[in-house]
Amino acid sequence: MNKRTFLLLITAVSALGGLLFGYDTGVINGAQFYLSKHFDLDSAMKGWVVGSALLGCLIGAIAAGPLSIKFGRKYSLLISAVMFSISAYGSGLPSFLPESVSLLVIFRIIGGLGIGIASMNAPMYIAEIAPNEIRGKMVTYYQLAIVIGFFVVFLATYFIGNQLSEAENIEFGWKHMFWSELIPSCLFLTLLFFVPKSPRWLALKGNNDAALGVLTKIHGADRALLEITEIKKSLEKNDKTTNVNYFSITIIGIIAIGTTISVLQQFTGINAVLYYGADIFEKALGFGKDDILSQQILLAFINLVFTFVAMFTVDKLGRKPLIYIGSIGMILGFSLLGITLQQESVGFLSLLGVLIFIASFALSMGPVVWVLLSEMFPNKIRSVAMSVAVAGQWAANYVVSQSFPIVMDSEINNGSLWNGSLPYFIFIAFIVIIMIVTYKFIPETKGKSLEEIENFW
């Protein structure tokens, strides 16, 4: 097997963590439409069922740092794969379990733990094995896997939903939607046994020979020697017997910048659209129930196509230009949606606004944030720093997903001034903040080695 094929295979396997991330968070979109009716949920309880998994994501992301340091990226991903499988089976509430919202929430939280662990370790693992010149593209495979997960799960829920009547979907169809996740989760669990450990984690643990062996398989002997030399120099900057001072001004500043851009990814409103797309199409845009799942497939398809655009431009244009381009597009998309809602003229322009927003996010903040987080932190603090940044992202995700249905159903949003458009103008304000933060604080990392990026700080 040649070096490039080996690199692509192990990248694809680790990126399956992203596919499970997309699948697990996407399955709730189709399922919640029916399980909400099954359990007769109000807006607050619907937000809790959807948002509960995100609490697991937050806890999982916090735990991912220590797990990654102690057991490595590979074994952390194995732990996440087990949690995905348990959650997929349990969320369908098999007949030997009592039907209750509380039990469903418990299994959703378990799945969230898996997502939180995988969402930190998968992109970090890919960044630590990828060559500098294509690292952005390789890490983008993770985001591509996320949107493929969304696309596949929307196809699965569409297929399941169309095979059954509405009454059957409300009774048990949503359970089958959850169980469909067992296929990718078991595949992920099996394939992880065949990927190597991260060379930078091996070096961090003092196992330089094993690290060199992995690097040689990926890059060839000559480049592997150069890589291991750079890694050792980076790790030797601080005395190995001295603990890292995470409370130093420099380290706090680096983590704060990474966490801020990570949090702002969620305040674009992307997951409000992806989690509650069915509700948006039915209530805000006036689509019939028969069209909802097909509209979701359209969203997922647009997300997928423009993630490919990001994949083939992130190492050419750079990280920051893509964020600027995508931010302008997201503002345009939500402006179209917001204004048409406000003017009570929903129709083609409203749908176009949603699609422009999704496309713009997919070529910018979706993949680029994962690329930045996986490469901007120094070797010695990468696990902990990325854990904090990803935990912040999941906390923001929870806030958005929990509050969105409440704001949507609020009196002020449904009054004559906003006519259902208020959330989208709030998201626009945060997208403007993204452009400011990117301009002032985010370094351009295109084409730099992880050790060269470390010198930026």
How many whole angstroms separate alpha carbon 325 and alpha carbon 228?
36
Check pLDDT > 90 for residue 268. Answer: yes
pLDDT digits (tens, 9 = 90+) for 293-318: 677 778 888 989 999 999 999 999 99
- Scan for tokens 């890490």, then name that residue: 139
Check pLDDT > 90 for residue 286. Answer: no
Check pLDDT > 90 for residue 88. Answer: yes
How far from 436 is each of 132, 261, 322, 440, 442, CA to CA, in Å? 27, 11, 14, 6, 10
What are the start-end ranges of the H helices in 314-363?
319-342, 348-362
Q: What local confidence, expressed as pLDDT, does residue 110 receive?
A: 96
Q: What local confidence, expressed as pLDDT, does residue 456 receive?
A: 79
Check pLDDT > 90 for residue 409. Answer: no
Instruction: Take residue 56 and report the two structure tokens written for it.
Output: 């697991």
Give buried/exposed letters for 343-353 (b at 16+ CB in 10 A, else e).
Answer: eeebeeebbeb
How many whole angstroms separate alpha carbon 378 and alpha carbon 447?
16
Four-point Cα dihedral 138, 139, 144, 147, nearest 10: 170
Residue with the bigger pLDDT between 258 and 26: it is 258
Residue with the bigger pLDDT between 300 and 421: it is 421
CA 139 to chain centre: 12
Query: Which of 67-71, 291-295, 342-346, 375-379 is the least confident region?
Result: 291-295
How far from 232 is each of 51, 121, 125, 455, CA to CA, in Å? 42, 21, 18, 15
How far from 160 is each of 86, 90, 148, 150, 299, CA to CA, in Å? 21, 18, 18, 15, 18
Mean pLDDT, range 380-404, rounded to an integer? 89
pLDDT digits (tens, 9 = 90+) for 337-351: 999 989 888 778 888
Mean pLDDT, range 27-50, rounded to an integer? 85
Q: How many domains does one find in the chain?
A: 1
Mean pLDDT, range 333-362, rounded to an integer? 90
Which of these, 249, 230, 213, 262, lies nearest to 437 by C-alpha position?
A: 262
Which of these, 216, 275, 244, 238, lies nearest to 402 by C-alpha position?
A: 275
DSSP single-letter state for residue 194: G
Check pLDDT > 90 for residue 213. Answer: yes
Task: Please say whether the beta carbons of 64 and 113 come within 8 A.
Answer: no
How many whole angstroms separate alpha carbon 1 and alpha carbon 7?
10
Four-point Cα dihedral 378, 379, 381, 383, nearest 10: 120
Q: The domain spanning residue 82 has which CATH number?
A: 1.20.1250.20
Check pLDDT > 70 for residue 150. Answer: yes
How many whole angstroms separate alpha carbon 268 and alpha carbon 101?
29
How many whole angstroms separate alpha carbon 56 and alpha carbon 48?
12
How many whole angstroms separate alpha carbon 351 and alpha carbon 375?
36
Q: Which domain holds residue 13?
A: 3-454
Mean pLDDT, range 131-151, rounded to an integer? 89
Q: What local confidence, expressed as pLDDT, does residue 350 receive?
A: 85
Task: Please say whether the beta carbons of 438 and 323 come within 8 A.
Answer: yes
How many whole angstroms separate alpha carbon 100 and alpha carbon 98?
6
Mean pLDDT over the full length of the chain: 89
Mean pLDDT, range 406-431, rounded to an integer? 91
Mean pLDDT, range 378-398, rounded to an integer? 90
pLDDT tier for residue 241 given thresholds of 50, 70 and 90:
very low
